[in-house]
Amino acid sequence: MALRRSIHDEVCREGWNEGLSSFTPYYGGQEIDASLLLPLVGFLPADDPRMAATIETIRRDLTEDGLVRRLKAKSGKTEEGAFLACSCWMADCLSLQGRHEEARAQFERVLAVCNDVGLLSEEYDVPAKHLAGNFPQALTHLAVVNTALGLSGPRVQRKRCQAALGDGTGTHAGRGTHMSEQDVWVQSAVRACAILRVCNLW
Instruction: Decide which of 179 and 117 is more confident.
Output: 117
- CA proximity to 136, closest of 62, 70, 71, 197: 197
Q: Inform me whether the pLDDT recorded for 133 exceeds 80.
A: yes
For the ranges 76-90, 157-171, 187-201, the lowest mean pLDDT is seen at 157-171
Helix 158-165 / helix 181-198 crossing angle, nearest 10 deg: 70
Strand partners, 84: none
Taking residues 182-188, what's their average pLDDT? Answer: 54
Mean pLDDT of all residues belonging to the chain: 79
Q: How confident is the model at residue 160 (pLDDT cuts 50, 70, 90)?
A: very low
**Gap between the Cα atoms of 80 and 69, Å rounded:** 8
Question: How would you write the chain as a 3-class SS string?
Answer: CHHHHHHHHHHHHHCEECCCCEECCCCCCCCCCHHHCHHHHCCCCCCCHHHHHHHHHHHHHHEECCEECCCCCCCCCCCCCEEHHHHHHHHHHHHHCCCHHHHHHHHHHHHCCCCCCCCCCCEEECCCCEEECCCCCHHHHHHHHHHHHHHHHHHCCHHHHHHHHCCCCCCCCCCCCCCCHHHHHHHHHHHHHHHHHHCCCC
Q: What is the predicted pLDDT for the residue at 176?
A: 43
Q: Residues of the chain with pLDDT > 90: what percent?
A: 38
Q: Inform me whether the pLDDT recorded for 118 exceeds 90.
A: no
77-112: pLDDT as tens digits? 556 788 999 999 999 999 999 999 999 999 999 999
Break the chain into its structural domains and give their ranges: 79-198
pTM, rounded to two decimals: 0.75
Write the burial class of residue 68 (CB in 10 Å: 0-12 exposed, 13-18 middle, 19+ buried).
buried
Instruction: Decide which of 167 and 51 is more confident.
Output: 51
Task: Write the CB contacts of 179 (distance below 8 Å, at least 6 apart in sequence).
Answer: 173, 187
Phi, psi (5° rounding) for residue 5?
A: -65, -40
Q: What is the predicted pLDDT for the residue at 187?
A: 54
Instruction: Decide which of 186 and 79 is more confident.
Output: 79
Q: How confident is the model at residue 191 (pLDDT cuts 50, 70, 90)?
A: low
Q: Inform me whether the pLDDT recorded for 121 exceeds 60.
A: yes
Q: What is the predicted pLDDT for the residue at 181?
A: 54
For the ranges 18-27, 65-74, 106-115, the lowest mean pLDDT is seen at 65-74
| Greatest pairwise CA separation for the chain in angstroms | 59
